[in-house]
Each structure stands twice: as structure tokens, then as C-alpha cells.
Chain A
């Protein structure tokens, strides 16, 4: 069924009891052309674009839990393309352009809201770095604008711009086309679109092994039996190392827990996404009114989807230092997600050294905004058995070749990005 004002009116008359299911729950077939491991936004997007753009519809998406229950449902929903290095800039800008047309493309409201992303600066050095990044973005055809302190204050009235702030603010870089989207809707929209084109979405089906015939992948062992596959795409960020290990591959990454939190809902107060590197915090207000905050990792290896209070306390201290009024709100919910933290802070999206095996992972803090772009590039890579120019730089062997993509210049570290 196509969603529209007319379908809404028709279903309102039947008291919304006759909406059909948005996707099927089929039994797994013995074999597929492509199996995607991971039913989050990335995996579902890959399946959608495989079917839509490459005509490959004998595809299954295998999800160990429920759709979008991993990092797709645990992020802070920020979408932006404000990167310094060219490969990152072009990839994330492609993704941002897909976001701009996504609701129409999917016929599903992903509530993409281009409310702007402001990166605050607090020191002269940050101004220099920020302006340099803004200039690099503009040279790459991406919108960026430098804001003076007065302009920041006018745009974000409740922000503490006084010289008495914990980290006094002296300006900011804004990407006005950045913003937020409804994360669940992204998974559901891609799932519905993929299912309509013949993709089998199989939930509660955990992959436990990758079967090979010599140098070639031939299928996956799952908790629901063996499933044959000519090609297998891995989209399980957080657990990429474990899946790659099933194929005998070690990856340049560690898994770390990253926490986020929301306050009780309140009337519209913060109209943009606000980030501060100095305060280690990023903040926005959800459409339900909650103030949504995230910050840094807990900084120890973890596969637990929960963290410890000290890291959360640090995030909240940072948030209150920027917006003192937050101290009067109650915290409603906190949670954690598991990040693939790569050794250069950039993703790994391309072929693995086993024929027919591909990976979309290593997203560090930033996988959500990449969802459509990563699915698009992953699908292209699977269909053509070679990376698209947009994800060619995200190859796994860049670490061996010395072509690392270190956006921050932080060196080989899984924690600094």
C-alpha cells in the first residue's frame, strides 16, 4: 500500500484497524544471491538499494534481534557532512543528499529535519581549525558558515555565551543542511521498501558462522539453519570483529560502549543540533521534546550495551555547562550502544579478503548519518564486486598500505575518534 493523505483518511474511517503489515516475516529460503548480515538501517538500506538500483532481489537480511534494535535505535540521530578530508566529505555529502530525498524515495516519513548543526568553538586554535574545515567543506561543494559569538547567541538563545561559562564560547561553525532524523523510521522505511521489492527480512536469526569453499564464501550458519549465499555483506557495526573472525579475518578496531541520555520532554527550547568538542557533548531536542545528549566513550573495550555512570555524569556536566537550564530537568532514560572504533577513526566499507564477502562497518561515533550512503555504496560494491569511487578510500587494506584516513590527526588509536 502506498502511504498518502488518502490512505490515511481511508484508514481513519476504519479506526486504523486495517493497516496492512509494512513487511512480511518469511521463512528463510535455502539459498540467496546475497545475504546481508544485520537488520539495522545500514543492512536494510543495502538490501533496498540492491533491489532498487541493481535489480538483485534474491536477497535476505538476517537480524539476530529485531529490526533497528542495535545502534540504529541507540544513536543521537544527527545527520551532517561537515568533514575535512576529501574522501569523508564526498561520501557523507552523498549520504546527506540521499537523506534530503529519502522520505519521498521510500514513501515513508523519516522526519528528516534540516535544523542545522552548530559546532561551538572555545579557543583561538579551535577557530582556526574550524574555519579551515569550513573552507575545505566549501571547496568540496558543501555548505558551511562561520558564526561570530553574537550570531551563535542569536541562533541559540538559551546557550550560555557569557564570559563566565565553564568553557567560554567564542564562535561556531554551522552546517545549515545538517539536522536530525527519526532513527526508527529509517530502519522501518528501508525495510518496507526492500520487502516490497522481494527482499526477505528474517528477524531472530543470528549468524553463527561463515561457510567457505576455499577462498570463496558459500553461505552462513545461523540459529535457524544453514543458508546458502553467493555473496555475503556484513553490516553489524559494534560486532564487526566477531563476524570477520568467523571468516578468519582480524580487523583494525576495538568495540567500545558509547552512552546517550534524554531528559523529560519540554516545550521547544533548542532548535538546532549543538556540539562542543571542549565540553565533550552534543545536544539536540527530539520531536517529542526530550533533550537528547551524547558525549564520549566510556573508554574501555565493551560489548555490553550499557555503560557506567561516570561517563554519563561527564556528558551531563558538559551539557549543563552549555545550557544551565538543563540542571532543573529530570533525566528520563539512558542507554548505551556498541561502537566499532577503528584505528584511524574512519569506516571500513568494501571488500574483505575472502571472495564474495563484503563489509560495512567501523563507523566509530558516526554511523547513523551514513545510513543511506553506506547502504548505497555497500550495494554498489556487492553488485559490481568492486568499490564505488565514493567508498574506495574506506578499503580495509588502507592500514597495510599506509593510506589511513585520520580525520583528527590523532594517530593509531581506537579511542580518540
Chain B
């Protein structure tokens, strides 16, 4: 079991959350202006790192907020969490 700290509710078991994927993926700011390659990048391509990974989790069985979590995909260790705008330090997989 992984322990994820919701910035609003405190430490909770990960089963209270729903996983939302890679938090470094940003939707193009001007969708009409971007190339097909940029859409390909946004919709399909992922860094998929082995190691620290910034990711979205929604506290579906709690406050229902989306939060950002920095977690290691190799050890499952949770390094930190915060609100969606949080910078959890390091962006080595970008």
C-alpha cells in the first residue's frame, strides 16, 4: 500500500485515490495553432521514466480534488505531493 498525502485531507492510503497519469503532459495552449506533431506528442507520447515521476491523482474517496504527486516508478516511494500548481522539485524526466 502506498501512502499519499492529500494537501487538504492529510496522509491517506492510495486506494482512496484514482490515478490520472503523467503530470508533465500539458495541453497545447493554442490548440488551433499547433502542428500535428505537437498533438501527437500531447495525446500519445510519454517519457515513461523509471524513477521519479510527477503524476496526477484524484482524491475520489475524499475531497475529490486533483493533486500532484511525485512518486518513484521503480521503488513506489512517494517523494512528495501538493496542489496541482505545486512544483515538487526536479524535472529530470523532462
Contacts and interface: CB of A to CB of B under 8 A. Distances in A.
Interface residues of B, number: 25
Contact of B74 (A254, A304, A308): A304
Contacts of A253: 46, 48
A310 B17 CA distance: 12
B88 interface: no
Contacts of A308: 1-2, 14, 76
Interface in B38-94: 40-41, 43-48, 50, 53, 55, 71, 73-76
B9 interface: no
A319 interface: no
B21 interface: yes
Interface centre among B2, B41, B44 (most CB of A within 10 A): B44
B74 to A, nearest CB: 5
B44 A304 contact: no
A208 interface: no
Interface string B20-52: 011000000000000011001101111110100
Contacts, number: 68
Interface in A239-293: 239, 241-242, 245, 250-255
A301 B44 contact: no
A300 B48 contact: no
A343 interface: yes
Contacts of B47: 241, 245, 250
Contacts of A250: 41, 45-47
A414 interface: yes
Contacts of A254: 21-22, 46, 48
Contacts of B48: 241-242, 251, 253-255, 301
A308 to B, nearest CB: 6
Contacts of A241: 46-48
B43 A412 contact: yes
Interface in A286-312: 299-304, 308-310
A230 B53 CA distance: 35
Given A254-B22, A309-B1, A303 B44 contact: no
Contacts of B1: 308-310
B8 to A, nearest CB: 20
Nearest to B74: A303
Interface centre among A300, A302, A308 (most CB of B within 10 A): A300
A303 B15 contact: no
A104 interface: no
A412 B22 CA distance: 14
Interface string A385-402: 000000000000001100
Contacts of B76: 302, 304, 308
A253 B21 CA distance: 11
B44 A412 contact: yes
Contacts of A304: 73-76
10 contacts: A241-B48, A250-B46, A251-B46, A300-B14, A300-B19, A308-B1, A308-B2, A343-B44, A400-B40, A415-B19
Given A241-B46, A250-B45, A414-B21, 12 more contacts: A242-B48, A250-B41, A250-B46, A250-B47, A251-B46, A252-B46, A255-B73, A300-B14, A300-B19, A303-B74, A310-B15, A414-B46
Interface of A: 239, 241-242, 245, 250-255, 299-304, 308-310, 343, 399-400, 412, 414-415
Q: Which 6 A-B pairs have the closest CB atoms?
A: A252-B44, A241-B48, A303-B50, A250-B45, A300-B19, A399-B44
